[in-house]
Structure 1
């Protein structure tokens, strides 16, 4: 699949939105709508997975292997850093238990002993529990003939969300996997299906859809619409469709910096909170006021992600790519 620059820009905006959200939260401010970057990520993830699977036609095993190689190593490194910091006493509020650490590495939703929230040691890793579950279900659907995949996916996700709405389970695992957030992956997959069928709205609707989506996010941010999947899922889908309308017409230009930020969005997402914590603590020690501390935190979180993208994410990806190439060479020989 050719690189869709609009998708990269959305990934960059979503990641930076989460960075600003956490920077504001840690420095005493508020930017709640930044957390909606997660909803954008989920919709975009559903789109990318559907398009990649339909274009490349990987086996279920190959699909899962690629996802594991892309997601797991970097997340495990970030989680290990958090665990080490907790054991060293760098995070006074962190409480570690054996299952908390195990569940964090194993992508098992569980209640944190630190504050009772349903998240792992690396707090933002809660979204990866959803991602990994989506990948497993998606891989299972790949066993079916192509024509039956989307109906099966819709049935699976629709059933899970319906169970969550009706039963409202208490356990961390069931509560996570029956959350309405699961529908966001399905929305992205549906948009991917329409994209491949060349059934996008005309390019003239691209900008209006983006503007309408941005206005909707603003209404959520100011409290005029509820903050949750009921509002954020359709708004994220609308935003994606708006960019794709322009993409289809060749109206999305390549911009180097936003594209690079999109490429680095996963690293930014994983590593920004550690850097923000350091920046906030340094700001307190040096007597910086709230606004400079907020700006410093945004910069620190973003730069930390970019550094880890270059020093960790890219070398890990290159290693796996070289490993697959050597395997193909041996097999061919």
Structure 2
């Protein structure tokens, strides 16, 4: 099954990520499907807190491996930047515009929504309080100590992931003048150096403590997978071996109750990179099954990521108010939470994110015309 997309047969650009993928003349369906996996894991991971509230603290967390969904987003992010910039002439400004437009507007919208909730109904936000600099620097993607939790987390809690992405975009974009291989090397070197420096001096700087977190190594793993994708075709036995190794590492992480922290880059990052390597290698050589529904879910994955905490809180209130949780049980509640997160996320994508991205992309095209040479891989 071919994944090449000609100029005449390209699909409508209805996804911010597809804007990037279509630019290189080839879409990878497996990436769309992996985004669904990543977002679903993250939602399930965050249902644990809501179930604990519904059980008045009795429930014991049992989905620590759901944190692997965040690592999968990081790994995919590293892959995407290498994949979409390979053999492409681009400017630093145009690159940053596309990347920040991808993440900023929807994030700013829900950060502002959270501020509205804080001002109108502060009792619903027990772990947040008003802090001008915390709010402002959250919008700027700059880490700042949370006024309640004391750790570097933005006003909209999942935004810590976007703070890492923003730094990664700046670093990667500043080295666009290098060839793909050299860019991967130097970006990886900087991120690895930050991890080492954090291990040595992390207690001396909250910024180093944040940017030197081992989760940054997930970007490195994703870039390496992309570099291998362009450099060679792997033998079937290599793909099988990588899959078995990644699955073994993931199972070991589950058995050892790894959730977050320093171990996540190995337990989740390596396992996720192995999964990504297997999927894109199979698609490159054999093609990938087309599933329009999963692709649409993949398009909405960012909307789900940004909005899901609001959805989970709302569903918790409904379940408690209607006294439905005892009938559903933990497993049933998780299914309801997951379904609601995807349903609302898809509505947000269709009503807000997709129209907004189309509008911003149309505004960019006249300025970018003639500046970018687009080539397929």
TM-score of the pair, normalised by structure 1: 0.92
Say if 2:32 and 2:299, in contact at 8 Å, map to a contact too. Answer: yes
Per the TM alignment, residue 238 of structure 1 is displaced from its structure 2 partner at its CA by 0.9
Q: Of residues 251, 263, 277 in structure 1, which corresponds to 2:313?
A: 277
Per-residue deviation, residues 115-154 of structure 1 (Å, max 9, x unmatched): 2232112111110000000000001111335563233223
Say if 1:86 and 1:95, in contact at 8 Å, map to a contact too. Answer: yes
Establish whether residue 58 from structure 1 lines up as the match of residue 90 from structure 2: yes
Say if 1:203 and 1:248, in contact at 8 Å, map to a contact too. Answer: no
Where 1:123 maps in the other structure, the secondary structure is coil
Match of 2:109 in 1: 77
Establish whether residue 302 from structure 1 lines up as the match of residue 342 from structure 2: yes
- Which structure dedicates a bigger proportion of its chain to helix? 1
Distance 1:298 1:150, change over 3 A: closer
Name structure 1 gaps, 5 residues minimum. none
Distance 1:157 1:328, change over 3 A: closer
Q: Of residues 246, 249, 273 in structure 1, which corresponds to 2:282?
A: 246
Say if 2:300 and 2:346, in contact at 8 Å, map to a contact too. Answer: yes
Q: Of residues 11, 31, 36 in structure 1, which corresponds to 2:63?
A: 31
What is the aligned length? 330
Deviating more after overlay: 106-115 vs 72-81: 106-115
Per-residue deviation, residues 155-206 of structure 1 (Å, max 9, x unmatched): 2122111111222235432211111211111111111111112x24223443
* 1-structure distance, mates of 2:321, 2:143: 35
Match of 2:362 in 1: 322
Map 1:204-243; keep pairs closer than 5 Å.
204-207=237-240, 209-223=242-256, 227-243=263-279
Distance 1:200 1:118, change over 3 A: farther
Where 1:27 maps in the other structure, the secondary structure is helix
Establish whether residue 137 from structure 1 lines up as the match of residue 161 from structure 2: no
CA RMSD of aligned residues (A): 2.2
Establish whether residue 255 from structure 1 lines up as the match of residue 282 from structure 2: no
Say if 1:59 and 1:142, in contact at 8 Å, map to a contact too. Answer: yes
Per the TM alignment, residue 246 of structure 1 is displaced from its structure 2 partner at its CA by 0.7
Per the TM alignment, residue 87 of structure 1 is displaced from its structure 2 partner at its CA by 1.1
Establish whether residue 201 from structure 1 lines up as the match of residue 241 from structure 2: no
